[in-house]
Amino acid sequence: MNNIVILPIIIPLIMGMILVIFRKSIQFQRWMSLIAIAAVGSTSIYLMTQIKGHGMQTLQLGGWQAPFGVSMVADMFAVLLLATTSFVALCCLIYAFGSIGRERESYYFYPMFLFLLTGINGSFLTGDIFNLFVCFEVMLISSYVLLSLGGTKIQLRESIKYVLVNIISSFLFLLAVAYLYAMTGTLNLAHLSVRIAEVGQDGLMTTVAILFLIVFSLKAALFLFFWLPGSYSAPPTAVAAVFAALLTKVGMYAIFRMFTLVFYHEPQVTHLIIGILGGLTMVLGAFGAIAYWDIKKILAYNVIVGVGLIMSGLAAFTSTAITGSIYYLIHDIIIKALIFLLGGTMIHLTGTSNLKDMSGLIRTHPYVGWMFFIAALSLAGIPPLSGFIGKVLITKGTFEASYFWLGGIGLLTSLLVLYSVMKIFMNGFWGETLLSEDMEKGTTKGLMFPMGCLLAATVALGFGAEGIHEYVSMAAEGLLRPELYIEAVLGRNPMP
């Protein structure tokens, strides 16, 4: 029992509720949300040290023994994502201070931001499949509000699509949970793993597994990404960056959890399907990224390419590949936030998102330009930046598992990704300067600091990859050895 496990969920929840009560004082809201997210970040780092020393930390809510109660489980994989999430959320929050606008701030922007984090952190920490559904809903409902808050025409149009898609996928999620419960009689992830290992993963169980895969693919934008480019280009920059950095990652986390802990017995079916979907996602995403001339669209398609790459690590299902996926997942959270913020800043300055209408920004904004350049290299996986190590390990893992085609697609799409972001760089920053400083639509005042932090993080992660290797390999070990998770949750008690 370790009550600290619940803190990353309840700190943003409590703070969000307090901020609902004190709606009028904007300064108070800003500071308090900053403090809350920083507190979550430090809690997750503390949890990380605990897990390193004493293994996975668990909490049985209300003291009800697993599998009867709801378990919360903090393993290294979840906590690494938790820490990265808090860092990125902090940066996006600071960016929002300078860009989101008073109107949105006074209509519950900060509480919704915190509730979004409640849902995300809950999804990472929960050890119960129904609880995972609830945390997904908390996250999704907050994201509906954040997406539509402000009520511009494009936001409302995209919100309708986004809400519809997600309601359908939530319905399928519930259906899949019901099937699973009917077949195994339990909802606790560790207990599910035990039961399925006992009776074997037969055809019916694999079908349910694929239903789960469809559900999470909709959330993670794995192949079923038709909704993503539209809805991620509608909200204001800070919100779009949080969505791009975090929301698909939660879906991916759920796929990782389900297909390493519960449905790991038939990798030649399920993991091959994940691999094929991952490959298709990368190819289609890269096509989208090079096809468009709209910054927002290009960046949104880059999110999709990242999803495909991370999933091919899971498809390979070797120790190297999973380690690579975790590295890349951490990198992807940071770099997607950074590149969305940078792209948003360019749009903020020029007042347009069409690349053909902007040019020569480097003369007036050299820092933004060079930051974009470094971020673009990191996104494509150029050493020594943070994307490199993950990409290498994933590629190596896919080759080890003889999925040469998958590794090949990964490398090929990296080039297309590099082309797509370099297109933004060359068109946006090079060439004749069209706008003089007083003709610009906005300033970068207050926006540089959070982007600088994220940039420093991607550089540090690239150079310090060795430093966190111990943690990442521990996370990979936790994923590859389900018995560790099961023992942490159920203990050595006789199985009911």
Partner 1 sequence: MKKPNDIILHAVTKVAVPIILAFSFHLFFSGHHNPGGGFIGGLAIASALTLLFLAFDIETVRANIGVDFKVVAAIGVLLAVLTGVGSFFFDASFLSHTFDYFNLPIFGKTELATAVLFDVGVALAVIGTSVTTILSISEDR
Q: How far apart are CA 324 and CA 401, in angstroms?
A: 14
**Do the beta carbons of residue 73 and residue 488 sit within 8 Å?**
yes
For residues 118 and 413, which CB has a smaller minimum distance to partner 1 in the complex?
Answer: 118
Q: Hey, what are 242's tokens?
A: 């949080």
Which residues form the interface with partner 1 (CB under 8 A)? Answer: 1, 3, 6, 10, 13-14, 17-18, 20-21, 59-63
Give me the least distance between CB of 6 and partner 1, in Å please. Answer: 4
Give me the least distance between CB of 109 and partner 1, in Å please. Answer: 15
For residues 15 and 486, which CB has a smaller minimum distance to partner 1 in the complex?
Answer: 15
Give me the least distance between CB of 20 and partner 1, in Å please. Answer: 4
Give me the least distance between CB of 93 and partner 1, in Å please. Answer: 20
Give me the least distance between CB of 140 and partner 1, in Å please. Answer: 17
For residues 148 and 231, which CB has a smaller minimum distance to partner 1 in the complex?
Answer: 148
Give me the least distance between CB of 236 and partner 1, in Å please. Answer: 23
For residues 115 and 485, which CB has a smaller minimum distance to partner 1 in the complex?
Answer: 115
For residues 23 and 265, which CB has a smaller minimum distance to partner 1 in the complex?
Answer: 23
For residues 108 and 264, which CB has a smaller minimum distance to partner 1 in the complex?
Answer: 108
Give me the least distance between CB of 111 and partner 1, in Å please. Answer: 8
Give me the least distance between CB of 81 and partner 1, in Å please. Answer: 21
Give me the least distance between CB of 281 and partner 1, in Å please. Answer: 38
Q: What is the 3-state secondary structure (H, E, C) of the chain?
A: CCHHHHHHHHHHHHHHHHHHHCCCCHHHHHHHHHHHHHHHHHHHHHHHHHHHHHCCEEEEHHHCCCCCCCEEEECHHHHHHHHHHHHHHHHHHHHHHHHCCHHHHHCCHHHHHHHHHHHHHHHHHECEHHHHHHHHHHHHHHHHHHHHCCCCHHHHHHHHHHHHHHHHHHHHHHHHHHHHHHHHCCCEHHHHHHHHHHHCCCHHHHHHHHHHHHHHHHHHCCCCCCCHHHHHCCCCHHHHHHHHHHHHHHHHHHHHHHHHHHCCCCCCCHHHHHHHHHHHHHHHHHHHHHHCCEHHHHHHHHHHHHHHHHHHHHHHCCHHHHHHHHHHHHHHHHHHHHHHHHHHHHHHHHCCCEHHHCCCHHHHCHHHHHHHHHHHHHHHCCCCCHHHHHHHHHHHHHHHCCCHHHHHHHHHHHHHHHHHHHHHHHHHHCCCCCCCHHHCCCCCCCCHHHHHHHHHHHHHHHHCCCCCHHHHHHHHHHHHCHHHHHHHHHCCCCCC
Give me the least distance between CB of 69 and partner 1, in Å please. Answer: 9
For residues 11 and 304, which CB has a smaller minimum distance to partner 1 in the complex?
Answer: 11
For residues 4 and 174, which CB has a smaller minimum distance to partner 1 in the complex?
Answer: 4
For residues 34 and 61, which CB has a smaller minimum distance to partner 1 in the complex?
Answer: 61
For residues 60 and 325, which CB has a smaller minimum distance to partner 1 in the complex?
Answer: 60
